Amino acid sequence: MAYSEKVIDHYNNPRNVGSLDQQDDAVGTGIVGAPECGDVMKLQLRINETTGVIEDAKFKTFGCGSAIASSSLVTEMVKGKSVDEAFAIKNTELVKELNLPPVKIHCSVLAEDAIKAAIADFRKKQEAKRQQVVAEVKA
């Protein structure tokens, strides 16, 4: 099976490979997939806690070229977007952009899941922080 030029480009020059501090309240981490299924994606987003804008994104992926390209593309797409805008990104946008064949659609689904998981993690942290502030005020 031949890969599209865009997949090859992202594979050869992956954007934003790396990690952010998982303990940081402004960082949301999403880890999706499973080693036994052949793909695991870790997506991390640094989100401005006041404006809700995604300021940085990093990924690490275990998987095929299409999985790596999907996660690399996602890091580019989400930067500068608000959390709500990023949450609304659909896997079909990735399929179209990367020209993924039907057998690779699950890679794009996983990348969409990674965004949602990272945002959920950020929201959970923010909620915990808010609860803590409320508790402190009450005390």
Partner 1 sequence: MLDLSRPIYLDNNATTPLDARVLEAMMPYLTNKFGNAASRNHSYGWESEEAVEIAREQVAKLIGADPKEIIFTSGATESDNIALKGAIEMYKEKGNHIITLQTEHKAVLDTCHRLEREGVATVTYLAPQKDGLVNLAELEAAITEKTIMISIMFANNEIGVVQPVKEIGELCRKHNVLFFTDAVQAVGKVPIDVNEMKIDVLAISGHKIYGPKGIGALYVRRKNPRVKLAGIIDGGGHERGMRSGTLNTPGIVGLGKAMELAGEELESETVRLTKLRDRLKDELMSQLEECYINGSMEHRLPGNLNISFAYVEGEGLMMGMNNLAVSSGSACTSASLEPSYVLKALGVGDELAHSSIRFGLGRFTTAEEVDFAIEETVKAVTKLREMSPLYEMAKAGIDLKSVQWTDHH
Kindly list the residues in this chain that would bind partner 1 in the complex (CB under 8 A). Answer: 3, 8, 11, 14, 17, 19, 31-42, 60-65, 67-68, 103, 106, 109-110, 113, 117
The number of helix segments (H) and strand segments (E) in the chain equals 5, 3
The dihedral built from the CA positions of residue 85, 115, 113 and 71, taken in this order, carries a sign that is: positive
Contact 16, 72 (CB under 8 A): yes
Shortest Cβ 138–partner 1 spacing (Å): 34
Contact 49, 26 (CB under 8 A): yes
Q: Which residues are catalytic?
A: 37, 107
Helix (H) or strand (E) holding 61: strand 54-62
